[in-house]
Amino acid sequence: MDRKFFYSMMFSTVAVLALQYYFSSNNTNVATVQLAGQSFKAPVVTDIRPLFKELDFIDDEKLSEEVLTTIETENLVVKFSNHGGAPVSVVMKKHTNKQGNGLQMFDYTGYNEREKRSFALIMGDDAAAAYNYVLNEKTDNSVTFIARTKEWDIIKKYEFSSDSYVMNLELSVEPRSAQVESVTPRLFISGPFIEGLVDNTVNGFVQKTDAGSFEKVSSSQEEDWFWVSPYCLGMEDRYSAQALISDPQKFVKRAYYKRVEKKQLQIVFEGHPVEKKTAWNLSFYVGPKTLEGLSSARDDLEGLLSFGWLSAICKWLLFFLQWLYRYFQNYGIAIVALTALIKSIFLPFMIFAKGRMEEMQKYQPALDRIKNKYKSDVQKQQEETMRFYKEHNLSPITQMLGCLPLFLQLPVFFALQRALSNYIELYQAPFFGWITDLSVKDPYYVLPILVGLVMLIQQVYTPTKDPKQRFVMLFLPFVITAVFMNLSAGIVLYWLSNNIFTMMEDKFRRTFFA
């Protein structure tokens, strides 16, 4: 190839790529290509409006006397305040705290908590939110507040579903004169935080499109990322969630997060500019993270539980656990019964697998002799080994069958651990004696120690002639005990029950199938 021709082609290619990069990166109006569900990091440039997280209230407003209004449904007790025209307390009636009272998702009462008040609406960048609202109407399941600023009349109507955890907000604004300039509304939503939980944190989550899965929002994304008209966006702590699940009038142009404190999070829903009377209907999920509660609000909302690739197993385990609880009325006994049910399903395969493994161990000395006899001739060694397998009706995979029982249990164990770790029904659920809360670790570490002892007994009675393997098998129970020290009592109870049933299974197999 002609060298000059080669160089000219190379420089031409580089020039074309450079020009494409320049025009695509500098001359494309980013705002025109933003589509619903996309996420962006917001730099301070003219193409993308900077994130505006400031929340302020009208300072010259004379503070009115606070009046609380209560709405009670089958599932929730919600207190509203005329200060902010917003819910200031949400209690989940079907789930209780340590005192036996309804579990409180959040409590933002008190004059010093203005910025934490949820559903604060600001009309424009230079404006401040109204703090004094007037109760206009109240029914059994709805409450309406009205506020006035210098430029706008604001109406908030909250309405609750009687049989689900859905709260509808009808939000309307109307200019007080014909000279009002176009402004961008911003709605601040404060997230839930159940007090008194161990290691409780508040995080964000997003479902970008109706066909997308739920994604957790990282701490770095909280700072400077936004989502364009997300299909679902909200906040969660260990047991509860609050999220926008429906926006038919497309109020939200984009949404982003604001971290108020280490354990407090807000969402800023930024709307499209308005300059005339406008109304929107927004629906929110406000309630516990349970399969029943989430699915009753929207079919795909149970994806918020984020079971991942174990989703199908987790849902079936929770289904059977709830079914067993109806009979035993004790989640500890239900976990033991669930373990027995799982073991019974795998029992035929376990009997076959362990029987074949023990049969293989009988022939291991003969296989070792073949290996030593032909150690200098690998091909001959393989031929003699395969001949031995054929004569004694064995298979190379027989050696792996002994590990399969553990491999089959691991997905179930991880699925159960993931399902129970954020399962609100186990919160404050007692077993017996000192186990008064299956959602936290055993306070006296009795269950983890019992797990270690049962495993040690299993290993002692498990036949093996390899001293190294013997050492590992005897050392493993101590490692497992240390790991289980900090796991919830419900998980440790499952593993303890599983080990005990395994010992009973071995006794049954040796008695009737040896």
For the chain, the 3-state helix, strand and coil shares in percent, each to the nearest 5, are 40, 25, 35
Higher-confidence residue: 262 or 276? 276
pLDDT at site 426: 84
User: What is the average pLDDT value for the chain, to the nearest integer?
Assistant: 83
> What dotted CATH number matches 68-306?
2.70.98.90
Task: Let me know if 442 is exposed, middle or buried by CB neighbors in 10 A (0-12, 13-18, 19+).
Answer: buried
pLDDT confidence bin for 397, thresholds 50/70/90 = low
- Percent of the residues in the chain that have a pLDDT greater than 70, as a whole number: 86
Mean pLDDT within 126-136 = 89
Predicted confidence (pLDDT) per residue in 3-30, tens digit = 544 445 555 555 545 545 444 444 334 4
Enumerate the domain spans of the chain.
Answer: 68-306, 313-512
Amino acid in position 377 = D
pLDDT at site 4: 47
pLDDT at site 254: 93
Mean pLDDT within 43-57 = 74
pLDDT at site 31: 47
Phi and psi of 194, rounded to 5°?
Answer: -80, 120
Pair of tokens at residue 336: 């033991």
- Strand-pairing partners, residue 234, are 205, 243
DSSP characters over 41-99: E--SSSSSPPP-----B-TTSPPPPP-EEEEE-SSEEEEEETBTTEEEEEEEEEEE-TT
Out of 130-144, 234-248, 349-363, which region has the weakest mean confidence (pLDDT)? 349-363
Tokens 């008695």 correspond to: 511
- Percent of the residues in the chain that have a pLDDT greater than 90, as a whole number: 37
Mean pLDDT within 249-268 = 90
Higher-confidence residue: 203 or 47? 203
pLDDT at site 352: 75
Predicted confidence (pLDDT) per residue in 291-332, tens digit = 889 989 998 888 888 676 777 788 888 889 989 999 999 999
Pair of tokens at residue 261: 């404190």
